[in-house]
Amino acid sequence: MKKVRILSIDGGGIRGILPGTILTHLEKRIQDLTKNPDAKIGEYFDFMAGTSTGGILGLIMLCPDENGGYRFSAKDALDLYLDQGDEIFDVSIGEKIKRMGGLRDERYSQKELERALLNYFGEIRLSQSKKPCLVTSYDMRNRKAHFFTSSDAQSEIHDFYFRDVARATSAAPTYFEPAHVYSIFGTPHTLIDGGVFANNPALCAYSECRKLDFKTLLDDQEKPTKPSAKDMMIVSMGTGSVKTPYHFKEFKDAGLIKWVQPLIDIMMSGNSETVDYQLAKIYSTLSGKNCEDYYRIEPKIINASSDMDKADLRNLKALHEDGKLSVMAFESQLDEIAQKLIKNA
């Protein structure tokens, strides 16, 4: 029986360059091993999950072309950030003053982001995703987690345009205004970034995959139906580990304004670490080599800023460089992952 190959990508704004760089290397490694220069990363995963920037990366890699193939490579996904990141996170001095750095209004206009998403996705719908997927968001009006899934999207009530899914999952509070999107059926939704509850969506991916019939979905009799952990290979990618210390003296009398940014940072990193802990424990209970099929690839930020919105050309280059350094640091694991992905194709 073949394993279900799962890719999960964390949220992290412009730091999506880090997993994008690593996935570009992984894709190239697969091309070399299969001697197929046209192989795309989407072909070698059976399920993808993403939050915020991770959701955008995943959707790009699952986008179909007009012939039913994969429209974009991992490099194409990375290029969205390298080529347009400075425009998406751009604000004039006048606007910065008017918005008071995010205190009076969101920091950035959503227009450039929406333009980039429209250029990449056009009219593609979630129901047309090349592989099963899950993208996280949060429903403000109904106060509940919202999961965009390709399995639910077979109904127009739960089907959405790719561009709207990407906009909703990346509507980070204080950075962009909430996303007001409509299902294909016409139901309105007001949604914000899934990072508020699941910055690391790997456990959401695990839970979703437990109910799916991959044998039928992928038309592959060697894939399992309703797989458990022993039937899954999970590759979970972070967007850069940085631990900014917060000291008692600085925060013992801190008010709302001072706590906003640290809370976002702590919430995101704390969630990612907790999910990693939970999955590592789940896999540690498995016998034989099954316990070795969970990978957490967390790149380190060495030269770049850890700010999610620092997208000047210098920092874009520094993030790309840190991504390449992470490839070197995880080279043996990535080679192992590539071989397992091919083996379970």
Contact yes or no for 20/74 (Cβ under 8 A): yes
Q: For residue 193, indicate whether it is catalytic.
A: yes
Q: What whole-number distance in Å separates Cα of residue 22 and Cα of residue 337?
A: 12
Q: Which two tokens stand for residue 106?
A: 């969101």
Strand-pair partners of 233 = 5
Spot the catalytic one: 10, 159, 193, 309: 193
Q: What whole-number distance in Å separates Cα of residue 324 and Cα of residue 18?
A: 8
Contact yes or no for 278/270 (Cβ under 8 A): no
Q: What whole-number distance in Å separates Cα of residue 231 and Cα of residue 297?
A: 20
SS3 243: coil
Q: What whole-number distance in Å separates Cα of residue 256 and Cα of residue 249?
A: 16
Strands 179-182 and 4-9 come out as unpaired
Q: Which two tokens stand for residue 214?
A: 């991959």
User: In whole angstroms, how far apart are CA 131 and each of 10, 32, 102, 145, 165?
Assistant: 19, 23, 37, 22, 15
**Sign, CA torsion 239/204/221/69:** negative
Spot the catalytic one: 52, 137, 151, 272: 52
Residues carrying an active site annotation: 52, 193
